[in-house]
Amino acid sequence: MAVFLQTMVAGLLIGGIYSLIGIGMTLIMGVMGIINLTHGQLMMVAMYVAFVLFEWLALDPYVSLLVAMPALFILGGLIQRYTLNPLIKVDSILPQNQVLMTVGVGTVLTEIARFIFSSNYKSVKTSYSSSAFFLGSISFNLPMCIAFGVAVIFTGALFWFLLKTDTGRAIRATAQDREAATLMGVNSERITVITFGLGAALVAAAGCLLLPIFYLYPDLGRPFTLKAFVITILGGMGSTVGAIFGGLVLGIAESLGATYIGMGYKEMVGFVIFVLVLIFLPGGLKQLTKI
Amino acid sequence: MVAHRLLWGLVGLFFIAFPIIVPSDYYQHLIIIVLMWVVIGSSWNLLAGFTGQISFGHAIFFGVGAYTAGIFATKLGISAWWGLACGGIASMAVALFVGWVCFRLRGPYFALATLAGGEIFRLLATNWESLTEGMVGILIIQTFRSKLPYYYIALGLALTCVLSIHFVMKSKWGYYFVSIREDQDTAEAMGIDTALYKNISLLISAFFTGTAGAFYMNYMGFIDPEVVFHLNYISIMAILVAIVGGAATIWGPAVGAFVMVLVQETFRSAFFGLAPKWVSQGHALVFGLLVIFVIMYLSNGIVGDWRKIKGIFSRAA
């Protein structure tokens, strides 16, 4: 029983961060209708930004968050503006060329990181990296708990932004019906740039929160891209509430898989859920809640 | 028309005589890899270019074919060449399942489902060590030391594949495929069983890709999950080969395979040893840049945009 509880706690904590990663992708999915297959790579870039700040200025990764998020907002905006938006005008037989483009951008980001930092594993060791506290016999990893808490705060802030501000309303309008939004005077091209930037900034936050816990290497991006992708499908395309639950479900499922099936199959659990969702619940969790 | 036939005859003769004209193992190896990509690119093109079902997971079929041949050799103790006959069939069996799951989805969602499928198979091959040897990979002794037999087998495969697709596209099936790409609902309304024909297209595509995979196992003698189930270097490469050459054209992927393998090899070998060595470390970077370039400026491919390309050069001249 203790093992089970411990597994659930670990899964829930990592699930909170997965949610933060998934929400960014879901936002982009909702507004542009494409899956951003460079999402994890953007997180990797943010982690390297925080890593450099740690090495040079000895900045704590939680502080570098304030640098990495704006930096990634700009990077994300530039990617959208100069690689994805021009494609809307390109006439092609293949409608999925934007998705393919994100794969190309992701490869470029990974390889640039490899050029600069080599493939070696890097890590940021802070004083609290491996500290934990106990409730009964269940241990709580401290940086994980902080990360979970900050992820919850960011998610709340995002909801406030989407529900209460003009830009947030414009984003939701564009996601609902792009042409109608344009007719209402929303500059939809600018909204796509902002949305991509926002998604990139959110995943940057997740990256900084993970930095004290995870090893950092250029190929880190791909597994996280795929996780974000599974979360997006699991939660229901474009549903932010769905993405939160999707992230938590994925975190717990992976944790259970690692404990009861084997570490090697941890990654696969997510994909098996993915296939099951496609077969039995094609609309994702959104279909159950109707949000 | 006569000039046309003469041209094809010359191209054919060139390919048959190539190993005799160029006795270098290195260049023969390059052309063998090109021919393998002709097969994979053409089969991707049948499913995506002609039928409109964009697959991001052709590594599934390539890998299954390669592993069929490999497992024949390591587990059953029979020649890996049996894999050349059975690899395609094994891929078709897998394709039936993949189609059953993925064809519930349309457009971009289908593409993403196949992408996830590719990752599932990669992880499966990595973790199912009792069958696949996991990350250790499968190593077999190649049958021939000379490149010649492999060259002619690859040539035969590429020719069979391209011609089969050519004839399929000329048949009634071909028109069904294109109608599904153009408008699935209308096709359905016209009485075309779209589910059936999408699956047929997938099965043909999987068969040839699997055969190419089995050939790869026999030719290279070594596979591991990262090589044959790689997202970038198999699935995305298949898409690039077809797009560079020209999606939805018969000969496009063949042209694309030449261009892509040549460009990749140029950078991998650092301009054949002429450029400084760090250039070769950047070949993956070049791959990414190539994806971006091709999608932005060559979205209909060399064959598809031939008029545009000719226009640019004639204006410049």
Q: Do B123 and A268 touch (CB under 8 A)?
A: yes
Could you say which residues of chain A have pLDDT below 70? Answer: 91-96, 286-291
Q: Which residue has the higher pLDDT, B176 or A91?
A: B176
Q: Do A111 and B299 touch (CB under 8 A)?
A: no
Nearest-CB residue to B295 (from A35, A101, A108) = A101
Tell me whether B287 touches chain A (CB under 8 Å).
yes
Are A208 and A65 in contact by the 8 Å Cβ rule? The answer is: yes
Residue with structure tokens 């052309």?
B31
Q: What is the mean pLDDT of chain B?
A: 87
Prediction pTM value: 0.86
For residue A33, the chain B residue with the least C-alpha distance is: B108
Nearest-CB residue to B119 (from A33, A101, A271) = A271
**CB proximity list for A10: less than 8 A, separation 6 or greater:** A141, A144, A255
Question: Taking CB atoms and an 8 Å cutoff, what residues of chain A touch B115?
Answer: 37, 229
**Predicted local confidence at residue A290, as pLDDT:** 53
Rounded mean pLDDT, B207-217: 94
- DSSP 8-state assignment for residue A184: T
* pLDDT tens digits, B48-66: 889 988 898 999 999 999 9
Q: How confident is the model at residue B167 (pLDDT cuts 50, 70, 90)?
A: very high
Nearest-CB residue to A100 (from B127, B291, B304) = B291
Q: Is A139 helix (H, G, I), strand (E, B) or coil?
A: strand
Which residue segments constitute the domains of chain A, with CATH numbers given?
A: 2-289 (1.10.3470)
* pLDDT tens digits, A105-156: 998 999 899 888 888 888 887 777 777 777 777 788 888 888 888 888 988 8
**Predicted local confidence at residue B168, as pLDDT:** 94
**Predicted local confidence at residue B316, as pLDDT:** 66
Q: Do A100 and B124 touch (CB under 8 A)?
A: no
Q: Do A34 and B108 touch (CB under 8 A)?
A: yes
Could you list the beta-strand ranges (E) of chain A. Answer: 132-135, 138-141
CA distance A190 to A207: 26
Q: Do B108 and A96 touch (CB under 8 A)?
A: yes
**Predicted local confidence at residue A204, as pLDDT:** 93
For residue B305, the chain A residue with the least C-alpha distance is: A92
Q: Supply the Cα-derived Rg of chain B in whole angstroms.
A: 20
* pLDDT tens digits, B136-153: 888 888 888 888 889 999
**Predicted local confidence at residue A221, as pLDDT:** 87
**ipTM, 2 decimals?**
0.79
For chain A, give the percent of residues with pLDDT over 90. 16
**Predicted local confidence at residue A78, as pLDDT:** 92
Backbone angles phi, psi at A214, to 5 degrees: -105, 155
Tell me whether B154 touches chain A (CB under 8 Å).
no
Q: Do B287 and A222 touch (CB under 8 A)?
A: no
- Mutation target to probe the B interface, by most B beta carbons within 10 A, among A81, A98, A100, A226 is A100
CA distance B231 to A225: 13
Tell me whether B111 touches chain A (CB under 8 Å).
yes
Are A10 and A253 in contact by the 8 Å Cβ rule? The answer is: no
